[in-house]
A and B are shown apart, each in its own frame.
Chain A
Amino acid sequence: MLSLKEKDRPIVRKLLCAGCCVRCVLRFCCVGTSSAYRRSYQDLHKELLAFISEENSPQSHDASGEEKSSDAPPNKRMRIDEDSVTAAQTDSDICPVCLGVLQDFCDPSFAEQVSDAVKKQQYEFDSLVLTVSLPAQLSVREHSCWLHVKKEVREKSMCLGKDDVIQVKDAFKWAVQGKIGQELGAAVVANSPCEVSISFIHPETEEDCHFLYVAVFLSVSQSVFTRMAVVKALEKISEEKFSRHYPCPPKKANTRCTALDTTCLHTSVFIAGRYNKFSRELPQTPWVIDGERRMDGSVEELIAAPLLSSFRADGFNFSSSGREDVDVRTLGNGRPFAVELLNPHRAKFNRTEIKQLQETINQSSDKIRVRDLQIVTRDATSRMKEGEEEKTKTYSALIWTQKAIESPDLEFLANIKDLRIAQKTPLRVLHRRPLAVRQRLVHSMTTIYLDKHHFTLKLCTQAGTYIKEFVHGDFGRTKPNLCDLMKTDADILELDVESVDIDWPPAIPD
C-alpha cells in the first residue's frame, strides 16, 4: 500500500484537480517505491481517491485500500469525490505533465510491444540497459507543475525540493522494466553491453520551449531545442518570469506522446589474433581506385567475413600492428591484428567456439592463416599502435646486385650494428604522406650468398623503416642505403616479414 502522509493530501488534491495522472501524483509526493508504479492505473486511482477523502483522519494515517475507506462516513466521501477531483479519472484524459508517458505507456501491452520489437532484431543477451528519451518540453511542464505545488506547500510552511520529486524517466522505467525483463528473459540493469532505447516525441507542443529561449537567451537561435539547453534555461529563469510566460499548472494537451521505434545497440566486441600472409598478390585492405576494385580480396576481408556472420555484426574496423605491401609475405608468428565488430547481435562465445571460428578462417583460403584468435577488450587498439611504433621487425629480402659478387664481399654487412639511416618519404607513398625525413635504425644484418648477382639479406630494423628504399636508395633519398654500402646498383626482388617482435595478443596453445 502507498505510504502517503497527511501532508501529501493537499498536494494530491491539487494535482488531481489540475488533471494529473496518478503516477505523476505519486512522483510529486516523492513516493520512491518502484513497485507502486507497477500497480494498475485503476488501482492507484482508487487508492488516491480514498486517501483524499479521509480528510479528518488522524496524523500519518496510511492511505490504504478499500477496507479503511469504507469506514469513513459515506456522505463526506461523496462530497470530496464530486468537488475536488475533476480530471484524470480515466486514461482518455491526457496528463498535462507527462503527456501520457506514465499512463497508457505503462500498461503491460506497451512493454510487450517493446519486447517484441527487441525480439525481432534477434539479439542474444542475458542483461540489458533501458534508456528512455523524453521530449524536452516535458522538463518545462514538470517545472511548471512543481512551481504550482510549491505554492501550496509553502503555505503550509513545508519544503519540496525539485530533486525530491521522482523523475518521469525513473517512474517509467520502474513501471515497465519488470515486464520487459520478463518478456525478454533478461535482467534489466544499470550497466550492460546491450542497450534498449525507447524514445518519445510530442510534435504538438514542440513550440513550448520557445519562450524560454527568448526570455533567457534573448533569441531563438535554433529550431531544435536540446534537452540540455532547456534544463539550463530552467535553472536560470526566475520563478516569477517563468510564471508570466507559462501557465502553472501546465495546460492540457490534445494528443499524447508518440513512441518512436524501439532501437537496440550492443557495444562493440573486439577480436584479436595474429595473421600470416602467404600470397604476394593480396593487399591488406581492399584496393579500390575510383570505385573500381584493383585486386580481388584482402587480408582484412578474409579475416572479418566469418566473424561478421557468426557475431551477426553490422560492420567492422580492422587495425593491425603495422602493414605490409601487396607483394610482401608475412611469415613466422604473424602480425598482430584486432577487429572491432560493430553492434554484434551475438557476443558470447566460449573458447571452443572461437577456436572453431579460427579454423573456419584458415579453411577459407590458403593465402592467409590466423592464430591466437581471442576476444579482447577495447584497449586492444592502443596495444596495436604501440607495436606499430615501438617494436622491432625482422625481414628477409632477395637482393640483386649489378656488380658480380663473391661470398666474402658480403661478410662486412654482418658487422654493421645499429646503422643510422635517414629516409625521405619514399616517392611511392609521397602522394599520400607528408614530405619528411625519418631517422631510423637498422639494428643488424646477416647474409646468405646465392650467386654472382643474388643474395638473401636478413635484417632486424626499428619499426617504421622502409626496407625496399633502404635497398635501392629511392633516388638517393634514403641515405645510407645498401647500394652505398656495397658500392653497386642493387634492387630488391622479394621481401618477407619474418617476425613482428611484439608479445601481444597472448599466445593460445593449440
Chain B
Amino acid sequence: EDHCILQHSNRICVITLISDGCSLLKNKVSGKSKRGGQSLTEFAPLCRITCTDEQEYTVFSCIRGRLLEVNEAILNKPDLLLEKPSTEGYIVVILPKFEESKSVTEGLLTREQYEDVLTKRNQQEPYMSAGSRTVLDFTGVHFV
C-alpha cells in the first residue's frame, strides 16, 4: 500500500493512506516532552485493515520517531481512510527526534516524484489502475 507522510515545519508527521487500506492503542503520551510514546522504526506495522474480500492490508510507519497519537476515529468509521485520507482519516501522528527532523523524510518521494511513479506504474500494468482500489469494503481496522 502506498503510504503518505505529511510533515509540518515543526517536524511533526502524520501518516495517512494515499487512496482507495496495537499495542498502538495503549500508547499514552504525557507532558511537553511526550514521555511514554512508543518509539517506532520505519518497518513497524501500525494497523491492519481487513476487507470483505478477505484481503488484509498492513499500514507501516515508514519513518522513525515517537508515536504521539493514533486516530481512533477510523476504528469506528474505517471509510474515513479512503474518503478523507488527508484529513479526518489519518492514521497516526509521529514526532521524529529533533536531530532527525530533516533526515527522516530523506529517501521518501515528493509529490511530483510519486506522480511520476504512478504514471509509469499505470503504463506498465494498466489493469491495476488506482481506480480499482477504491472499491474496498472495510470490515474492520485494528491497530497492531
Are B93 and A427 in contact, CB atoms less than 8 angstroms apart? yes
The residue among A427, A432, A433, A473 with the most chain B CB atoms within 10 A of its own CB is: A427
CB distance from A283 to the nearest CB of B (A): 14
**B30-38, B118-126, B133-141: which one contacts chain A?**
B30-38
Are B90 and A430 in contact, CB atoms less than 8 angstroms apart? no
Distance in angstroms between the alpha carbons of A434 and B34 in the assembled complex: 7
* A474 to chain B: closest residue by CB: B87
Residue from the list B31, B34, B68, B90 in contact with A475, Cβ < 8 A: B90
Are A434 and B31 in contact, CB atoms less than 8 angstroms apart? yes
Instruction: For A430, list chain B residues within 8 Å (CB).
Output: 10, 12, 68, 93, 95
Are B87 and A475 in contact, CB atoms less than 8 angstroms apart? yes
Residue from the list B14, B30, B73, B88 in contact with A427, Cβ < 8 A: B14
Q: Place the interface of chain B in its size category.
A: 20 to 34
CB distance from A426 to the nearest CB of B (A): 10
* A436 to chain B: closest residue by CB: B30
Are A475 and B30 in contact, CB atoms less than 8 angstroms apart? no
Are A433 and B87 in contact, CB atoms less than 8 angstroms apart? no
Instruction: For B73, list chain A residues within 8 Å (CB).
Output: 476
Taking the complex as formed, is B69 at the interface, i.e. its CB lies under 8 A from any CB of chain A? yes
Instruction: For B95, list chain A residues within 8 Å (CB).
Output: 430-431
**Residues 388-438 (chain A) with a chain B CB within 8 angstroms:** 424, 427-435
Distance in angstroms between the alpha carbons of A433 and B95 in the assembled complex: 12
Are B14 and A432 in contact, CB atoms less than 8 angstroms apart? no
Are B87 and A476 in contact, CB atoms less than 8 angstroms apart? yes
CB distance from A105 to the nearest CB of B (A): 52
Interface SS majority for chain A: loop
Instruction: For B84, list chain A residues within 8 Å (CB).
Output: 476
Taking the complex as formed, is B18 at the interface, i.e. its CB lies under 8 A from any CB of chain A? no
Chain B, residues 20-37, CB within 8 Å of chain A (1/0): the string is 000000000111101000
Are B32 and A432 in contact, CB atoms less than 8 angstroms apart? yes
Distance in angstroms between the alpha carbons of A63 and B31 in the assembled complex: 74
Distance in angstroms between the alpha carbons of A429 and B10 in the assembled complex: 8
Distance in angstroms between the alpha carbons of A434 and B68 in the assembled complex: 10
Instruction: For A431, list chain B residues within 8 Å (CB).
Output: 10-12, 95
Interface SS majority for chain B: loop
Are A428 and B8 in contact, CB atoms less than 8 angstroms apart? yes
Distance in angstroms between the alpha carbons of A489 and B86 in the assembled complex: 12
Are A428 and B68 in contact, CB atoms less than 8 angstroms apart? no
* B95 to chain A: closest residue by CB: A431
Are A475 and B32 in contact, CB atoms less than 8 angstroms apart? no
Distance in angstroms between the alpha carbons of A434 and B32 in the assembled complex: 4
Instruction: For A428, list chain B residues within 8 Å (CB).
Output: 8, 10, 12
Are A427 and B12 in contact, CB atoms less than 8 angstroms apart? yes
**Residues 31-80 (chain B) with a chain A CB within 8 angstroms:** 31-32, 34, 68-69, 71, 73, 80
For A, the interface residue count at a CB cutoff of 8 angstroms equals 14
Distance in angstroms between the alpha carbons of A103 and B45 in the assembled complex: 82
CB distance from B11 to the nearest CB of A (A): 6
Are A433 and B8 in contact, CB atoms less than 8 angstroms apart? no
Instruction: For B34, list chain A residues within 8 Å (CB).
Output: 434-435
CB distance from A476 to the nearest CB of B (A): 3
With contacts A427-B93, A428-B10, A475-B14 taken as known, whether A434 is within 8 angstroms of B88 at the C-beta atoms is no
**Residues 14-68 (chain A) with a chain B CB within 8 angstroms:** none
Distance in angstroms between the alpha carbons of A424 and B32 in the assembled complex: 14
The residue among A432, A434, A473, A475 with the most chain B CB atoms within 10 A of its own CB is: A475
Are A435 and B29 in contact, CB atoms less than 8 angstroms apart? yes
CB distance from B71 to the nearest CB of A (A): 8
Instruction: For B93, list chain A residues within 8 Å (CB).
Output: 427, 430
* B90 to chain A: closest residue by CB: A475
Distance in angstroms between the alpha carbons of A474 and B67 in the assembled complex: 18
Instruction: For A427, list chain B residues within 8 Å (CB).
Output: 8, 12, 14, 93
Instruction: For B10, list chain A residues within 8 Å (CB).
Output: 428-432
Distance in angstroms between the alpha carbons of A430 and B34 in the assembled complex: 9
Distance in angstroms between the alpha carbons of A434 and B36 in the assembled complex: 12
CB distance from B63 to the nearest CB of A (A): 15
Chain B, residues 93-108, CB within 8 Å of chain A (1/0): the string is 1010000000000000
Distance in angstroms between the alpha carbons of A432 and B11 in the assembled complex: 11
Distance in angstroms between the alpha carbons of A428 and B8 in the assembled complex: 7
* B10 to chain A: closest residue by CB: A431
Residue from the list A429, A435, A476, A489 in contact with B68, Cβ < 8 A: A435
Instruction: For B29, list chain A residues within 8 Å (CB).
Output: 435
With contacts A432-B32, A433-B32, A434-B31 taken as known, whether A473 is within 8 angstroms of B88 at the C-beta atoms is yes
Distance in angstroms between the alpha carbons of A430 and B95 in the assembled complex: 9
Distance in angstroms between the alpha carbons of A473 and B88 in the assembled complex: 8
* A472 to chain B: closest residue by CB: B87
Distance in angstroms between the alpha carbons of A473 and B14 in the assembled complex: 15
Distance in angstroms between the alpha carbons of A432 and B95 in the assembled complex: 11
* A484 to chain B: closest residue by CB: B88
Instruction: For A432, list chain B residues within 8 Å (CB).
Output: 10, 32
Distance in angstroms between the alpha carbons of A429 and B34 in the assembled complex: 13
Instruction: For B80, list chain A residues within 8 Å (CB).
Output: 476
CB distance from A295 to the nearest CB of B (A): 13
Distance in angstroms between the alpha carbons of A17 and B5 in the assembled complex: 89
Are B8 and A434 in contact, CB atoms less than 8 angstroms apart? no
Q: Across the A-B interface, give the 4 residue pairs with the lowest CB-CB distance, nearest first.
A: A476-B88, A431-B10, A475-B90, A435-B29
* 18 pairs of residues in contact across A and B, judged by CB atoms under 8 Å: A427-B8, A427-B14, A428-B8, A428-B10, A429-B10, A430-B68, A431-B95, A433-B32, A434-B30, A435-B30, A435-B34, A435-B69, A473-B88, A475-B14, A475-B87, A476-B73, A476-B84, A476-B88
On B, residues with C-beta under 8 Å from A are 8, 10-12, 14, 29-32, 34, 68-69, 71, 73, 80, 84, 87-88, 90, 93, 95
A475-B87, A489-B87 provided; 15 other pairs, C-beta below 8 A?
A: A427-B12, A427-B93, A428-B8, A431-B10, A431-B11, A431-B12, A431-B95, A432-B10, A433-B32, A435-B29, A435-B34, A473-B88, A475-B88, A476-B73, A476-B88
On A, residues with C-beta under 8 Å from B are 424, 427-435, 473, 475-476, 489
